[in-house]
Every structure is written in structure tokens, then in C-alpha cells.
Structure 1
């Protein structure tokens, strides 16, 4: 059986395992073949189940479910984790995003339920593997049992991470639920975080420790430690977060990429832009030593993505193709829909004719602000329009905030294929964890210990790679760090999670998001509990989050 078949079977297995109360996922012709009792009976069977966990995890970025692992039916759902924060405007966008952006969210909103269902599907599938790993005695090697349990516990922790950020107190489940339950209760957030940390500690002790000996996209102990550092910060344990981050940084396995590499290393560009070029994300053969964990979406690859698996390009890129004089081009990022657009205060407007230039948050020398990374200069590319061809098309207030056809665009999300420039998906592997973020987590840990000097040192590792001026200990604070995370990680991180973890959600939204500054309050830090969950939980009280 080839890898693609393993992944398809793994998905079917994952759905079969989580089908209680979700009959749409029951596929009768697969059920008998893929029941847990005949799948989880060997190392190979657990490989099948493990592949399903990876696919279900990356389906967080899925849209309409075209052969993907989950169906959200709307914009890329992770856009809802950027909306109503301090970095993007959401203007006349996909209907699935607008309630998040304008704070009119209700418990019946689509993504409120789909994120809940996605996370608990991943948890249920992880629990199934854990239970059957304890029962199985047929392993190829003595280490197999602990390895698959470590993967399952990592993914369970990853799912609960999303749940506590979005909903606060949530039911904690660590076993197989054979019977339909109507009496769930909400486990306190602090207790759930404790379970997350326990899972990640186990994962860090039992996942492979040599990233050169695992396949692209597979977890290592260093991915577990990276996430553990973040979870210690959420728990309010900055010294432990420091320790976990330093284990990754000092492991000798990873390094910030500081010289040109990969497919376009001899062409115009810079090392930051190299990180995001297609075929530059992975460690094996591609030489990216900064990547710690990479979600595999590769175009036309066995087990790769589908059109619906990652719509980040459509989210972030302008609709330039709607302007006379432009045609779709891979060099311009393919077909964007501008479902979210960057705010002026951080990206700046220098070099445009928009009203009132704003400097933004980048040093002049910062390569992350170069035209290779933020495209501000747009030139008509339709040779048939001879009067316009190769002339500059200016960004204006109208093109940015009304038609959304031109604005400073993040090239990290450019993606186009000459085979089909209207492809909806971003068929490019996605760096989920990379070392630059580990340094920024370390800086956050030092700030939590009131050590601004060491926090500045950690941030400067990232800034100096970017050619930016070093920050002093005196200027180092949480707002500077949050700005630095924009400069380095905008669009990669789930911004809402970051603002909640740092206790800056309300302050930053009020000061930087004028569209909702007057109505945002502390209740908006959490989403509502899906109404369907409350309604179906008839045998026990299941309180709604405040404000909904």
C-alpha cells in the first residue's frame, strides 16, 4: 500500500473512530474493513491511524473538504483567528468571517462549531490510538508503542490548545466514548492546560530526537518542546517555558537561515523570502534548518494537498486580477480574494499615494519589509493592454479598503501554478513551527521573569538575521515583542492566540483596531460555546461563555 493510500485509509479510520453522534462520517463499506479492532493490530495499522492524525491536523486550514480531512464550508477558518485582532481589516468579505470581524458572533456561527468539532475529532482519534496501543502486543520494534502514543498525545495536546484559547473551560476527555453522552461538564481551563503539558512532556520524551532521521512533516521531540514552551507561558510558568525553548535552541539541530538557500538562491531575493518559496520549507533535501514542524501540502505529491486544503493565498492576496491591465500570474501570487487586508499602522504606506503616509513598524534596513517580502510596487502585466503594460499601478485608499484590488501584500502567501492560475489551494508546505518563533517564545519567557536584557538578546537573534537594528533592554517590553511577532510571523501565527496568551487582547484591539475599538470588551477574548453543544447536553448544566 503506498503513502497516498495510507493517508486516505488513515482519514477514513479517523472518521470512523469519531463517528459517534456524527453519522455523516459513517461509511459503511469502509467500516467493516477499518474498525479499530482489525486496524490497530500491528505497527503498520498504527502507521495508518497516525497518517489520519496528520491529515486531520492540517485540515484546520481546509475549506470545502475536497478529499480533505475536514469540511468547514466557508473561508479558510484560520482567518477567523486573525479577524478582530490588531493586524487585519475584514471588509465586505466572505460571510463566514464577518461576524468574527464585527463582533456580532453568535453561538450558531459556522466556524464556532467547526473548530469545536475539528478539535474534538482530533482528540477522539488520538484517544483511540492511545487505548488500542495499550492493547496491542504486535509491534515491529520495542520503541513503536511509545512513539505512536507520543504522536497521539502531541495531537491531543494540540487540539486542546485550540479549545482553551477559543472557548476557555472545555470538557476534558481522555478515553473512548462508546455511548452517546448528554451530561458533559466544562473542565476548568487551568486543569486542561495541565493535561496538555503532561501530554507534551510525554511526547518530548518519546518522539524521535534526530530530525534528520524522520520523514518530512513527521513530529520530533523538538516540536513537542516548542509547543510545550508556549503552553508553559499560557500556564503562567515562564521559567519552565524558558527551559523548554532553550532545549530546542541549544539542541544543535536547528539554526536560523542566514544565507540564501533553496530553489531561487541565485536569483533576486533575500533569505527571508527564501523561507517561503515553494519547495524550500522542509529539512530533507531542501536544506531549511529553521523548520521544526512542517505541514505537508506539496503540489502533485503523493499525500499532498488538494484545492481546498489551504486557502491562505486567497485570504491575504489582493484581487489585482480585477483591474484592467492585469492578468493572473504566479509571480503575483495567483488568484487572491483579499478576504483579510493588512492594517496601515504596522505595514505602513510609504511609497503609495494613499492619504497620509504611515511609517509602519519596520526599520529601513529590515529585509522583512523589502519588496521581496511585502509587495508594494505593482506593474500592469497584461501585454495585450499596450497603453498600460509595465506601467505602475498605484495603491490608493480605494484599491486598499474599498475594492481590495491592490495593497501591500505579504509575498509569503503568494502562490500560483502555470498549470492553473485559478487554483484555490496553496499547494505549498506550511511551516507550522520554526526556530524564529522559538526565540520569540524565549523572549516572552524572559519578559515573564522581568529580565528585559535576556528578552532583548533573544529578540535580537531574530532581528539581526533580518538586518534590523538591535533592540535595547530599555526598549524591550511586551508591546515591542508583539510588534516583532508581526514583523516575523504575521499570517503564520494565530494572532488571537498570541494576544490572549500575553493578556494583551483587549488593549491591543482597542488601540489598533479602530473598526471595533468602541465595542470590544473582555468577553470577546473567547468565542461562544456552540449552541448545538449546549442544546444536546440535556442531562447536565453546560453554561455559555459570558456575553453570548
Structure 2
């Protein structure tokens, strides 16, 4: 799709999908005729537009559309950022994932184009709000203008973050272009990074600081989300001291803490503080969760929540246990899984199974992140109509893990099931996009960049102590150890490709841990190709393709 097409069409789409969270965040009655000139004329109108930015952001995880943003139209694009890394193999993958997993990408692949489209949709919609906020004079409060601008600039930065990670040099557009254009050029990545950082600094200075203030709605941005992302972007830029300072702004703010005691709706049931983070309805602060910094709102059966085709992360990581005789779908087993990606044995281990070669994985024995509450290794037949099997343990084998993908260690953080519809495609839990544990790991990365493994170890140990893992010292604190720690803490939550690209470890880690691709990956695989439709449409100026992907 051409860049210019977003300028004229995305705003209508933006308003059409404008929705609220389960708490009534930004609920609006829409005008029969929506356009920037009759919408962006008051604080109320900008609330509508900003709500649309949140909806567009959630649609990053969209699959087939439905009531959400019609973006990717394919199974779980999120998985394209997990395969061909060091953590997961492609299982029963949708055909739309095969080229990403096998490193046979071309510029025509669906998600190559849809991630580009999604990002520029968010950018153009943010630019629309920024442009009309300068024209509007009817504000409820004197601070409204800067607040909306801060949110819009955060989302613009967030979209460009995806673009520079995936494509490198990309056109930087910071205003609405009404004229048809065929001459876009690629802005150098470092220049785009500078703009991202400027936007995030603006947002950090103007977004609200107190997430507990009266009337503050779950899911809305605070300045601490901007500082968290700013730390990551400084790391990508190689500005490690500034990355440290941004991370410490969040850590020292007084608003957040790692959850070390049980909390939330299942605090009196078996589990631990880490598993509590991922229980449905435990992601927002009203549950007692003080670790979440920014939460995407996907609640079940709520206006502004998820649809069946929004977040398919659960289906991605959950095995197809329902295909095994002796099993039936159950909410306690996460509902229906598709096993589209499968965890690699080197990190998750095989302890407690009879798979060939008992591997310990990368977890300490007492690390709660490796408990059965968080990685399910013990599967018991649950079909009462099979009395000879009912209640007995079903063994994970090489065949169930690697061939049929029916049983393997599963990440319970993405379990989701509803008795009224156990075949639900979506995962309707809110998604913690940024949480404090990652801020500490970004801080550790900043210290490693400054050549200070002792301070890096201190930052990592804060996270490890919560999990019951042993503390580490400077002697073992390397980038590889930190990347392993990010798996232990953030597997499935982070976009693993982004992390490995930022740390310049993608090729090395794939060669070390991904046996299927170790002899195939090359330096050019650090970037995706530019979508062919963009190159074809830009007829007036040469728009070069990324190296390794042809013309």
C-alpha cells in the first residue's frame, strides 16, 4: 500500500474503531459524519481521536479483523517476531509464517507489508491529531492541548520504533501530506531514531505522572511508559548513559514495584507472585498489580476489549493437546491451542519428561518462573469418557513435542479459556506491554553498554531475587547471560527479534541455538525487505530495497 493512501483514508478508519476500555475509558457517541474538521474542534473530539490511537496500537496483534482493526488478515503476525530467533521453532504454523521461520522472506510476504501498513497508519493518525491540535482553540483545560500532543507523539514514536527495527531506513513523515506523492525517500535510521527520541522526551515531560490519581483510566499512558520506551531507544542508539537515566526515572518514580507477594483474583489459590501477573484481570493497578507500566486493554465482552481475532498469543504457544485421545478442551489448560510456535529445548529444558536427552534448561532449580504454575510440563488426561486414561499423566515425547506438537512445555502466562466457548480464538486478557521487570533489564543492558558488569548484575539480581533464583556477580554478567535472563522473565512478552537486533546478537544467537537455521542465517537477515508495493508505487524517485532481497 502507498504511504500517501494513509493520509486521506486512515482517519475515517481511526474514528470508526475508536473504542474504550472495560472501565469506560473514552466511551464516545459518534457523529454521523466524521472528519477532522468537525471532530477536532473540542477536547471531546480529541478524546475520540486519541482513543482511536489506542485502538490502532492494539491492532498490532490483530489477525483477521472482525470488530477490531483490520490490519494483518493472517494468523498471529506476532509470531513473525518470535520465529527465526533463539527461542522458538515453527510448529503447526499458518502458511503466512513459513517464510519468516525458514528465512525465505521476499518483499511480497503478507506480514512484511502489513507491519509497514500498521505503523504508517498509526503515524499518519498521530500526525492528524498533532496538526489539528495546533488549530483548535476550544479546550476544556489549558493543559489539554499538550496532553493530547504528548499521547500522539508517543504513539508516533512507538510506530517508528517498529519500522526501524524491521526495515532500517524508512521515510520519516511528521505532517499530513494531502497531495499525491510518488517520491518518498528513505530517511537514515539514525535520523529517524533522533525523531523518536525527541517525541518520547516531549511525551515524558507532559504525560500524567500519577497512575493512581482519581479518574485515571486503566490503559492510559503515563510519563513512565515514555521513559521506559526512551530507555530502550537510547540503547538502540548506543547512548547508554542516557538509557540508564531514563530507566532510573521509572524505577525511582515511586509508583512501581516488582510483585513479590500473592495478589489479585486468585491469590488464595495455588500459584506464586509471578503467575499472578498473568491471571485474567490482574494486569491493571486496580488488581493490586504495581508492576505494570503500560497495559493494552483486551478484556472479554467489554466495549474496547478484544475480539476473536485480536491477540492470538495463547493459540501460538499452547500445544494441540485436544488432539490427543484422553484430552478434552479445558479452560484450566488454556483453551484451544494451535502450537504455531514451539519452545526450543535448550532453554525450556525437558526435566520431568521422557523426551530424549534430559536437559536442564536455563533456570535455577528454585526459580519460580520455571514452576509448573508458569511452564506447564505435567499434563494429565482430563476426559472422563476415557476411564482407562482419566487422571493419568500424559508423557511429553520427542514426537508430541517436535512432530505432532500435541504436548510440550507450555507458557501458562498466555493460557486463556472460557467454559462458554473453549474454542475461542482470541486471548481476552489485558496485555502488559511494559512492566518494571523489563525496566530493570534495560537498566542492566545500559550498564553493560558502559562496561560496568557489576552494576548490571545488581539490576538483574533485583529481578532474580523476586523469582527465587540465585544472585549473580560481575563474573557471569555478559550480554548472553542478560539475553537468557530476558527469556526467563519475558519470553513471549517481548518481541524477541527486536531484542536481538538491538543487542546486535541476532545472527550469533541463531547460530548458537537454532539448529534449523544456524547454517542459513546471514547478516542481511537482521532486516526485513521493504514491501514490494512501496517500491513499485514510488515511481518518481528510486526507493532502494534492503540488501539481500533483490531489487
The TM-score with structure 2 as length reference comes to 0.95
Residues 15 and 49, structure 2, Cα contact 8 Å, conserved in 1: no
Q: For the structure 1 residues 27 and 197, does the alpha-carbon distance in structure 2 shift closer, same or farther, using more than 3 Å as the test? A: closer
Give, in whole Å, the separation in 1 of the partners of 2:5 and 2:470.
Answer: 52
Match of 1:252 among 251, 254, 269: 254
Note the alpha carbon deviations across 1:3-53, whole angstroms, 9 max, x for none.
Answer: xxxxxxxxxxxx99936378996999x997111000000000000000100
* Match in the other structure for 2:45: 45
Question: In 2, Cα distance between the equivalents of 1:27 and 1:481?
Answer: 42
CA deviations on 1:58-104 (whole Å, 9 max, x unpaired) are 11111000111133111111110001000000134110101000000
Shift of 1:177: 1.3
Consecutive unaligned residues in structure 1, runs of 5 or more: 1-14
In structure 1, the partner of 2:407 is 406
The residue aligned with 2:8 is 20
* Structure 2 counterpart of 1:217: 219
Corresponding residue number in structure 2 for 1:139: 139
Q: Which whole-Å deviations, capped at 9, do the CAs of 1:349-395 have from their partners, x for residues lacking one?
A: 01111111111000000000000000000000000110000001000
Counterpart-to-counterpart distance in 2, 1:36 and 1:159: 21
Aligned to 1:10: none
**Residue aligning to 2:353:** 352
Query: Which string of whole-angstrom CA distances, capped at 9 and with x for unpartnered residues, describes residues 110-166 of structure 1?
Result: 000000000000000000000000000000000000000000000000000000000
The aligned residue for residue 535 of structure 2 is: 534
Q: Which runs of at least 4 in structure 1 moved beyond 2 Å after TM superposition?
A: 15-28
1:384 alignment partner in structure 2: 385
Contact map agreement 2:12 2:35 (CA 8 A) in 1: no
For the residue of structure 2 that corresponds to 1:292, the secondary structure is: strand
Match of 1:233 in 2: 235
In the alignment, the residues of structure 1 paired with residue 4 and residue 313 of structure 2 have an alpha-carbon distance, to the nearest angstrom, of 29
Q: Secondary structure at the match of 1:341?
A: strand
Residues 209-257 of structure 1 show CA distances to partners (whole Å, capped at 9, x for unaligned) of 1111221000000000000000000000000000000010000000000
Q: How does 1:49-128 map to 2 (within 5 A)?
A: 49-128=49-128
Aligned residue number for residue 5 of structure 1: none
Assess, with a 3 A threshold, how the Cα gap between structure 1 residues 169 and 16 changes in structure 2: closer, same or farther: closer
Q: 2:367·2:467 contact (CA, 8 Å) conserved in 1?
A: yes
Is this contact kept in 2: 1:17–1:36, CA < 8 A? no
**Whole-angstrom distance in 1 between the partners of 2:6 and 2:287:** 36
Per-residue deviation at 1:193? 0.2
- Alpha-carbon deviation of 1:274? 0.2
- SS of 1:212's partner is coil
Does structure 2 retain, via aligned residues, the 8 Å contact 1:317–1:414? yes
Q: How far apart, CA to CA, are the structure 2 residues paired with 1:412 and 1:504?
A: 26
Change over 3 Å in CA distance of 1:16–1:290 after alignment to 2 = farther
Corresponding residue number in structure 2 for 1:3: none
Count of residues in correspondence between the two structures = 532
**CA apart distance, 1:180:** 1.9
Aligned equivalent of 1:369: 370
The 2-side partners of 1:358 and 1:52 are apart by: 47
| CA deviation after TM superposition for structure 1 residue 107, in Å | 0.1
1:262-309 superposed Cα distances (whole Å, 9 cap, x missing partner): 0111111100000000000001x2110000000000111221111111
User: Contact (CA 8 Å) 2:296, 2:431: kept in 1 or not?
Assistant: yes
Asked if the contact 2:445–2:482 (Cα under 8 Å) also holds between the matched residues in 1, the reply is: yes
Structure 2 partner of 1:454: 455
Matches within 5 A, 1:93-492: 93-213=93-213, 214-283=216-285, 285-492=286-493
The answer (yes or no) to whether the contact 1:317–1:335 under 8 Å persists in 2 is yes
Q: 1 CA distance for matches of 2:501 and 2:71? A: 27
What RMSD, in angstroms, separates the aligned Cα atoms of the two structures?
Answer: 1.7
Post-superposition CA distance 1:454-494 (Å, at most 9, x none): 00000000000000000111110100000000000000000
Query: How far apart in 2 are the matches of 1:278 and 1:336?
Result: 17
Cα 1:273–1:256, aligned 2, differ >3 Å: closer, same or farther?
same
Conserved? CA contact 2:11–2:125, under 8 Å = no
Confirm or deny that 1:515 pairs with 2:503: no
Residue aligned with 1:488, SS: helix
Gaps of 5+ in 2: 17-29
